[in-house]
């Protein structure tokens, strides 16, 4: 069993829809949770960064962490074609500095 599980999709939604992405994990030591966005033929770039449980909002993006369920989510509101990318979750324990990644979910937003 992988330490971080993420449905690879693909996910296709119409423009303006809400995109919901999630990851589950097994290591209860994870404290830092991140979402990366990767466009085709590019390296991943950090989208959201959260520490421990709770919600964080940044514009159209909301990240949620539920440590009791070992479950994290990313929501994209009012999705745009420019949001079409692969989204990877990543997480790490305190003071470890190594990230464990999900497999990534490929999202296509149709105009």
Partner 1 sequence: DADVTQTPRNRITKTGKRIMLECSQTKGHDRMYWYRQDPGLGLRLIYYSFDVKDINKGEISDGYSVSRQAQAKFSLSLESAIPNQTALYFCATSGQTRDEQFFGPGTRLTVL
Closer to partner 1 by CB, 32 or 83: give it: 32
4, 59, 81, 110 from 64: Cα distances, Å: 16, 14, 23, 25
- Min CB(79)–partner 1 separation in Å: 23
Closer to partner 1 by CB, 17 or 49: give it: 49
Query: Angle at Cα 106 formed by Cα 78 and Cα 89, nearest 5°?
Result: 90
Contact positions vs partner 1 (CB under 8 A): 4, 6, 8, 32, 34, 36, 41-46, 49, 88, 90, 92, 96-99, 101-104
Look-up: residue for tokens 């030591």? 29
């Amino acid at each position: 069993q992988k330490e971080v599980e993420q449905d690879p999709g693909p996910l296709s939604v119409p423009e303006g829809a809400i995109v919901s992405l999630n990851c589950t994990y097994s290591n209860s030591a994870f404290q830092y949770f991140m979402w990366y966005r990767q466009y085709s033929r590019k390296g991943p770039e950090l989208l959201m960064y959260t520490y421990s449980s709770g919600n964080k909002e940044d514009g159209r993006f909301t990240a949620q962490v539920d440590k009791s369920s070992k479950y994290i989510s990313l929501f994209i509101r009012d999705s745009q074609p420019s949001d079409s990318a692969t989204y990877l979750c990543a997480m790490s324990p305190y003071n470890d500095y190594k990230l464990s990644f999900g497999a990534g979910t490929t999202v296509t937003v149709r105009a």
